[in-house]
Structure formats: structure tokens, C-alpha cells
Amino acid sequence: MSGHLLTLGQLGTEGIAEMLSLTDRFVEVGQRPIPRVPALRGRTVATLFFEESTRTRLAFETAAKRLSADVMTFSASSSSLSKGESLRDTVETIEAMGVDAMVVRHRSSGVPAQVARWVGDGVSVLNGGDGWHAHPTQGLQDAYTLWRHFCPMPDEPPGTALPDEPTLSGLRIGIVGDIVHSRVARSDIEAYTALGASVVLVAPPTLLPAQPRDWIDEWLAPEAARRVEITHGLDDVLGGLDVVGLLRCQRERMADGLIGSVPEYVARYGLTSERAWNLGPDAVVTHPGPINRGIEITGDAAEDLAADGRLLVTRQVTHGVAVRMAVLFRLIGSGTALGADDDD
Ligand code: CP
């Protein structure tokens, strides 16, 4: 991995697999009575979120603390940005305080890459989600969650037999909903295809990029692009999916007329109880959160799937901490062996 994590494309299959394998070690740390190791003692991680977040910010901050790093939290709404300070001056101010990593979220695509160009060699920039572009740690946590669902670690109940190395080969994964605006969709597509899954993009034409086939073929390597299909009909593919990856629909975009109405969207793309019945018996459902209950998935369907252990949302969140521990350890760790904290 280079000094920054901006997209999953930069990691490639080998790098993604390495991060998932490393995540196993931090899942184990998270299960200890005191889930803390000294690996990043003396390091400082700053979270710079210029757009709202619950999961990503808290997961990064929890991950950094569990690695014994110091955490610096920047809040855009209470910062000197409101006095007219520029983004670059803000970044340079935080860098001058002495940080090893900056986690950057911004509503504009490309801001983390720009921050990476501004900071010195000693600072790693991690993309916490930029515009429609990329959300690499979400892609890693979703891929990890699916890998470890279908190929559990040895002390978990057995699942579908996949080799115990990071792979999603043999799985058919649907990504459903607002694909055009979704950084999660882009990073999930990169992660899933790199690990050998077949991916079916399911959305109305208005929620897909224009010329979606060309978009896929120009963006992904040929081998990955061949694994991606595109359809407008959820019911045409639902029964053959191993995974239904729901995406958040933004109500404000619905007001823009990208879909006819919420009931129309639910009728064609919502995961209703009826559709949940039509899932394969071992199929699972993911969602990056936050969920709009009653739109992407109805309350009844969510409750039934959760009761069956087939709604993986909370597991995605739990794994999000371990994945971010792995990424921080890999980027700014000094090679210190993992182990119990001295305070244990
Ligand atoms: N999935 C995700 O990025 O959630 P947050 O916006 O809460 O970080």
C-alpha cells in the first residue's frame, strides 16, 4: 500500500486480500476483554469530516484508540472555516500540530486526493468518503463481512464452503438502488470484482450513470468488467442472488424527479417482505447505512431477515472498526507486533 488510501483500485486484488486477512487479527483483538493493543502508541490520527457521518467517523476514531493512537477530531461546523479559512489552510494548520494520518470526508469528489498532495511525506491520507467517487474502507468492510459470512473463521458455525483465503469467487452479488450517486457502490464494485464475485447492478436508468456499460468498461480492468451485469429489473434477478446489497436512497434526490415517487420506487426496488420470501434460502442482505426504513427495505422485511441472521448491517458496522484498525496499522504502524496492551 502507498502512503495514502484513496481508492481500492490502488490496492488491486492482492492489496485488498492482504487487508482482509489482516482484518482477521483485529477482529480477534476486538473480542478481547480489553480490546486494545499498543501498535500505534505515540501516533496521532486526525479525523477531518466536512460532511456528516456516524459510522465512518466513529469507526476510525474507535480503531485509532484501540491501536493506542491519539485522536484529533476536527468538526467543520465549529471550525474557523466559518470565518473564511480555506480548506488548504485548515489542512496545513492541523498538519502543523503533528499528525501521522488524516481521515478526510468531503461532499466533493477528489478532496482527499487534493489533501494528499498538500501534506508532507510523513502524513497518510485516508479517504473517508468523497462525493460520488469512493469510500474504500466501506468497500473493505463490506467485502470482509461477506467473506467471513460465507467462510467463517474456524470458531464460528460453518457456512458455505469457500477457501479460507479472501475470496468472493462463486458469489453473485446484486447492488441495488442509487448507483449513480453512490461512492459505496463504486468501492463495493471494485472490492467484489477484485475478489472474483459476479456483480449485478440493479437500478432504474435514472439512478445509473449514462451509458452504464461504457462506464464499467472504461473504469474497470477487462477481467473485472466482465463480471459486471446491469439490469433495471430487481425481480428478474432476485432469486439468483447470494447477496442483495442495498444502497441508501436520498430523499432529496427523489424530490429531483430521479424516481417517480417513493411508492413507485418501493414497488420496483424496495426489499419488501414479499421479495424477502423470494430470496434464496442462504441469501443475505447488506446496507452501508444509514437505512431509510420503508424505502430501501421495509420494516417487516428487515425484522424477519435480522431474526434469521440474514441482515448483515450490524456485522458490517462491527467489522468496520476492525477493517479500519487494519488500514491504520498498515499505513502508519511501525511494524510493532500485535499483542496485549501493557495496561491489560
Ligand atoms: N456508511 C457510511 O459511510 O455511514 P456514515 O455516513 O454514517 O459514515
User: Could you please report the per-residue DSSP string of 74-112?
Assistant: EEGGGSGGGGT--HHHHHHHHHHTT-SEEEEEESSTTHH
Domain ranges of the chain: 12-134+318-332, 136-315
**C-alpha cell of residue 236:** 428478474
Q: Which residue has the cell 442509487?
A: 178
pTM score of the predicted model: 0.94
Domains 12-134+318-332 and 136-315 agree in fold: yes
Q: Determine the pLDDT at residue 344.
A: 41
Residues 272-286 pLDDT 10s: 999 999 999 999 999
Of the residues 47, 52, 56, which should be mutated to test ligand 1's pocket, given the most ligand atoms within 8 Å of the CB?
56
User: Measuring from atom 5 of ligand 1, which residue has the nearest CA?
Assistant: 53
What is the number of the ligand 1 atom nearest to the C-alpha of 56? 8
DSSP, collapsed to helix, strand or coil, labels residue 185 as helix
Q: Determine the pLDDT at residue 82.
A: 85
Of the residues 47, 55, 321, which should be mutated to test ligand 1's pocket, given the most ligand atoms within 8 Å of the CB?
55
Class of domain 136-315: alpha beta
Name residues of the chain where pLDDT drops below 50.
342-344
Pair 334, 127: CB distance under 8 Å: no
Strand pairing report for 172-176 and 198-202: parallel
Residues 66-98 pLDDT 10s: 999 999 999 888 889 988 899 999 999 999 999
- Identify the residues whose C-beta falls under 6 Å from ligand 1: 53-56, 129, 135, 138, 288-290
Q: Determine the pLDDT at residue 334.
A: 73
Distance 106 CA to ligand 1 centre (A): 12
DSSP state of 220: S
Q: Which amino acid is at 198?
A: S
Q: Determine the pLDDT at residue 153.
A: 78
Give dist(CA 70, CA 44) in Å, integer: 5
**Which fold would CATH assign to domain 12-134+318-332?**
Rossmann fold (3.40.50)
Q: Determine the pLDDT at residue 78.
A: 86
Distance 179 CA to ligand 1 centre (A): 16
Give dist(CA 290, CA 316) in Å, integer: 12
